[in-house]
């Protein structure tokens, strides 16, 4: 099982290079993820030519989209146990900002999943 830092490292790999350019064409925006209860913050930038993921709030609370959820819910979304839309409707995922970008989070999560190490049985 992956940890939150591993998930965001994989997201960083997913947005780099050619894969990042494809995501950028679909997404075009900035996201701040806040993972509770530790309030650990990560920033995703798919608005500039060099897409990045970094620790901390790189946008000073002015991201196009702010996502807040627990570590458990983030891991469930990564593991496809719950869709972001379901988590939002159930109040498990808080969203502020551009809802059109929120609907495209599944693209970012899918690209991230591909970069995570596979579990060995």
Model confidence pLDDT, tens digit, residues 45-75: 999 888 899 999 999 889 999 999 999 999 9
Asked whether residue 56 is domain-assigned, the answer is yes
Instruction: Provide the domain count of the chain.
Output: 1
Closest CA to 14 of 112, 106, 116, 117: 112
Cα–Cα–Cα angle for 87, 64, 115, nearest 5°?
Answer: 60
Q: What's the confidence (pLDDT) of residue 1?
A: 60
Report yes or no on whether pTM surpasses 0.85.
yes
Asked whether residue 115 is domain-assigned, the answer is no
Whether the predicted pLDDT of 119 surpasses 70: no
DSSP 50-100: S-EEEES-TTTT--SEEEEEEHHHHHHHHTTSS-HHHHHHTTSEEEEE-HH
Residue 65 sits at φ, ψ, to 5 deg, of -145, 135
Instruction: List Cβ neighbours of 52 (8 Å cut-off, separation of 6 or more).
Output: 12, 15, 43, 44, 45
Asked whether residue 120 is domain-assigned, the answer is no
> What average pLDDT does this structure show over 76-102?
95
Cβ contact 2:75 at 8 Å: yes
Whether the predicted pLDDT of 32 surpasses 80: yes
CATH number at residue 42: 3.30.1050.10
Q: What's the confidence (pLDDT) of residue 90?
A: 97
Q: Which domain holds residue 25?
A: 4-110
């Amino acid at each position: 099982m992956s940890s939150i830092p591993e998930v965001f490292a994989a997201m960083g790999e997913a947005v780099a290079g050619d894969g990042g350019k494809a995501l950028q064409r679909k997404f075009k925006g900035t996201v701040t993820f806040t993972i509770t209860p530790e309030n650990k913050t990560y920033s995703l930038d798919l608005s500039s030519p060099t897409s990045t993921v970094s620790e901390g709030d790189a946008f000073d609370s002015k991201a196009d989209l702010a996502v807040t959820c627990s570590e458990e819910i983030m891991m469930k979304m990564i593991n496809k146990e719950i869709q972001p839309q379901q988590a939002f409707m159930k109040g498990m995922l808080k969203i502020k900002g551009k809802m059109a970008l929120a609907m495209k989070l599944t693209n970012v999560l899918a690209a991230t999943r591909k970069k995570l190490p596979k579990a060995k049985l």
